[in-house]
Copies of this chain bind each other. A is one copy, B any other.
Amino acid sequence: MRPQILLFGDSITQQSFRSGGWGAAVADIYSRKVDVVLRGYGGYNTRWALFLLHHIFPLVSATPPVAVTIFFGANDAALLGGTGKKQHVPVNEYKENLRRIVQHIKNLSRNTLVVLLTPPPIDQQGRREFARSQYGDKASESPDRTNEVTGAYAEECVNLAKELGLPSINLWSKMQETEGWQKKFLSDGLHLTPEGNAVVSQEVIKIFDEAGFSDLPYDFPQHSEIDGENPEKAFLQQCAAV
């Protein structure tokens, strides 16, 4: 009944309803207007995401989402020589997988607003500290990700958005503009702190507001519009269309 925004991505999407999370912030700001549907899959890369496409976006869907955020790349960019090698996807394949995801969604509905998000930057020192906190002396000495390699994935994500005429959010660049981004925005060198989540929600909401989402109607009357003596009036007026 209500329009839906679907958040499709990896752990940074899956965790986006934790305290201070960007997904919950989007759900909060459009509450009573839009439903936010969480489809985040921790550890997933774009290659595995393709297996989910027809399940998450069935072609027979009666009401396609008004918007979809596609937020992959943090795992695709895992290094072949590191602990996340299973997750690695070559950068060219990453770009083509993203293209297939976008095309599938656009086949459902040309009107769905598709927003591409790049992976956030990597704080390699933060990754090392995190690995040591988890595995002590057994922590691998070789990095699982580097900021430079992740930057190449971010670049291809933005390039694809330009090719396809889609809005994109270059988190990799954006976050690095702030002094101390390593600890301010990242909790373990990769995942987001509440401040890092706020960067994402601000950028996402900016794009959604430009598309007019804040002007969408409330589903039911605001309580200030309800006459205490004659409440049915407000509901008859507004619910007739629902």
Contacts and interface: CB of A to CB of B under 8 A. Distances in A.
B55 A32 contact: no
A242 interface: yes
A194 interface: yes
A171 B21 CA distance: 26
Please indicate which of the listed interface residues A24, A86, A231 has the most CB atoms of chain B within 10 Å of its own CB. A24
Interface in A25-42: 25, 27-28, 31-32, 35, 37-38, 40-42
Contact of A28 (B17, B51, B220): B17
A178 interface: no
Contacts of A47: 231
Interface in A1-31: 1, 14-15, 17-21, 24-25, 27-28, 31
Nearest to A220: B52
A15 B28 contact: yes
Interface residues of A, number: 44
User: How many copies of this protein are present in the complex?
Assistant: 2
Contact of A242 (B21, B55, B219): B55
B20 A31 contact: no
Given A25-B19, A86-B228, A43 B239 contact: no
A69 B17 CA distance: 19
B28 A27 contact: no
Contact of A48 (B14, B52, B224, B231): B231
B14 A31 contact: yes
A51 B19 contact: no
Nearest to A242: B55
A87 interface: yes
B87 A43 contact: no
A223 B48 contact: yes
B17 A20 contact: no
6 contacts: A17-B24, A17-B27, A20-B20, A35-B38, A43-B226, A44-B223
Please give me the 8 A-B residue pairs with the lowest Cβ-Cβ distance, nearest first: A43-B223, A86-B228, A24-B24, A51-B235, A17-B28, A17-B27, A17-B24, A19-B20
